[in-house]
């Protein structure tokens, strides 16, 4: 069945908090080295939110830029979806805080798909626009994830950074836009990447805090293997919708967790590394903000041009994975 409308990304925005933490700064906090971090992950530095900056504060300037670039005002937005796993609070949603800060008047909700959050939210927005229910949907990946990091745990604290990226998804007037999306999840692997406490399973208590259960935990090496496999599969799946092949991709925008993961994905897909947009060196892993900021930078720097086939792909806690195929 063909959808009544097409959907396209019509405006992008991004925001990175001011403070930069280099690998050399982290050498002073835990027993690690710039050399280990660079060679094992490709990360050189990351941005860190100020103590008084929450995820909705990071989302706001990114959203404002995306709305302006789409030629709209906040009043034109019909729905706000914020992808985040570092929300301002358990509730109200970060999307509601953002809605108030923007001065928008529309529905708003959060999406918890961890690092796959942005491509997941893009797929949901695509559905709303294609169905004709909404004209302009604002999608934001926003994370102040460093607030959930144990700065005594060198296996995680060197990896993450904060930031936000935003996209406006509107009715497309030509043949360009979002062609297909596919979403995946495997809840059986939930323990590989999680923040165990603070929810209804392990409510906050003195004991949960003493045991550091409010911090992000990750089985890095296990996740590495799954990441490579799921990203490869998600890319191949989404291409099938339009009978395209890997060689048709002009630019792959992947989740930025580790440079070595991206090299392995490039190898498995037989896609030249130059076709993969990489900024993990400057930002680390920003969870749901990673693909959003990478897309913004790829468009802004002219890496993505009109008519290009672009694939967004991510994986993360859940486990979740997602891909979007776009004709720019
Ligand atoms: O967005 C969510 C998705 N996240 C990911 O996809 C992350 C996927 N995983 C990874 O990127 C990698 O597994 C890591 C970067 C997390 C770890 O790299 P690794 O090459 O898999 O290292 P490892 O965990 O196997 O550790 C190797 C060694 C260990 O020492 P021993 O046991 O060999 O003596 C660690 O203790 O490196 C040690 N190590 C460190 N050394 C210096 C772990 N972290 C550090 C560190 N500095 N920060």
Q: What is the mean pLDDT of residues 216-240?
A: 97
| Partner residues linked to 201 by β-bridges | none
219 C-alpha to ligand 1 centroid (Å): 9
pLDDT in tens, 73-113: 999 999 999 999 999 999 999 999 999 999 999 999 999 99
Residues recognised as catalytic: 115, 255, 285
The answer to whether the CB of 76 falls within 8 A of the CB of 23 is no
Q: Which two tokens stand for residue 39?
A: 């060679």
> Taking 70 as the threshold, does the pLDDT of residue 27 lie above it?
yes
Please tell me the predicted confidence (pLDDT) of residue 187.
97
What is the rounded (10 degree) CA torsion for 212, 214, 215, 219? 90
Whole-number pLDDT of residue 173? 77
Indicate whether 3 pLDDT > 90: no
Q: How far, in Å, from the CA of 46 to the mean position of ligand 1?
A: 17
- What pLDDT does 175 receive? 76
Answer yes or no: is pLDDT of 251 > 90: yes
Average pLDDT, the chain: 97
CA–centroid distance, 221 to ligand 1, in Å, is 7
Question: Within 13 Å of residue 267, how many CA atoms lie on the same side as its CB?
Answer: 8
Query: In the structure, what pLDDT confidence band is assigned to residue 4 with cuts at 50, 70 and 90?
Result: confident
- Given a cut of 70, whether residue 194 has pLDDT beyond it is yes
Of all protein residues, the one whose alpha carbon is nearest to atom 17 of ligand 1 is 220
For residue 228, CA distances in Å to 180, 234, 287, 312, 321 come to 21, 10, 16, 14, 11
pLDDT band at 322 (very low <50, low <70, confident <90, very high): very high
Cβ of residue 154 lying under 6 Å from some atom of ligand 1: yes
Nearest atom in ligand 1 to 258's CA: 11
Token pair of 97 as six digits:
């805080």
The pLDDT of residue 1:
61
Crossing angle (nearest 10°) for helices 117-131 and 289-300: 70
**Domains identified in the chain and CATH numbers:** 6-174 (3.40.47.10), 179-327 (3.40.47.10)
The pTM of this model reads 0.97
- Tell me the C-alpha distance between 213 and 170, whole Å: 40
Percent of the chain whose predicted confidence (pLDDT) is above 90: 97
Which residue's alpha carbon is nearest to atom 11 within ligand 1? 258
Cα 40 to averaged position of ligand 1 atoms, centre (Å): 7
Q: What is the mean pLDDT of residues 116-143?
A: 97
Cα distances (Å, whole numbers) of residue 108 to 16, 111, 139, 171, 241: 23, 10, 10, 19, 30
- Taking the CA of residue 156 as reference, the ligand 1 atom at the shortest distance is 16
The answer, yes or no, to whether residue 278 has pLDDT greater than 90, is yes
Cβ neighbours of residue 144 under 8 Å, at least 6 residues apart?
49, 53, 54, 55, 57, 58, 86, 162
Proportion of the chain above pLDDT 70, given as a percent: 100
């Amino acid at each position: 069945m063909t959808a009544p409308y097409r959907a396209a990304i019509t405006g992008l925005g991004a925001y990175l908090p001011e403070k930069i933490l280099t690998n050399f700064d982290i050498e002073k906090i835990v027993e690690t080295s710039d050399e280990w971090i660079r060679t094992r992950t490709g990360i050189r530095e990351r941005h860190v939110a100020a103590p008084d900056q929450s995820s909705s504060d990071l989302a706001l300037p990114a959203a404002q830029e995306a709305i302006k670039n789409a030629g709209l005002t906040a009043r034109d937005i019909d729905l706000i979806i914020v992808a985040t796993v570092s929300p301002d609070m358990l509730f109200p949603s970060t999307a509601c805080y953002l809605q108030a800060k923007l001065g928008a008047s529309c529905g708003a909700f959060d999406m918890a798909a961890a690092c796959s959050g942005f491509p997941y939210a893009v797929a949901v927005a695509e559905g709303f626009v294609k169905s004709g229910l909404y004209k302009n949907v604002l999608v934001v990946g926003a994370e102040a994830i460093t607030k959930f990091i144990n700065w005594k745990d060198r296996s995680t604290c060197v990896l993450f950074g904060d930031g936000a990226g935003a996209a406006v998804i509107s009715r497309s007037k030509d043949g360009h836009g979002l062609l297909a999306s596919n979403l995946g999840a495997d809840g059986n692997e939930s323990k590989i990447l999680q923040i165990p406490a603070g929810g209804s399973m392990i409510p906050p208590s003195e004991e949960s805090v003493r045991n550091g259960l409010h911090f992000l935990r990750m089985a890095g090496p296990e996740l590495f293997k799954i990441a490579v496999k799921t990203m490869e599969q998600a890319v191949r799946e989404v291409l099938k919708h339009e009978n395209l092949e890997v060689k048709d991709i002009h630019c792959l925008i992947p989740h930025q967790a580790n440079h070595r993961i991206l090299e392995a994905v490039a190898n498995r897909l037989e896609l030249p590394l130059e076709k993969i947009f990489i900024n993990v060196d400057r930002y680390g892993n920003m969870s749901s903000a990673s693909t959003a900021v990478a897309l913004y930078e790829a468009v802004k720097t002219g890496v993505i041009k009109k008519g290009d086939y672009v694939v967004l792909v991510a994986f993360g806690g859940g486990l979740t994975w997602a891909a979007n195929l776009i004709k720019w």
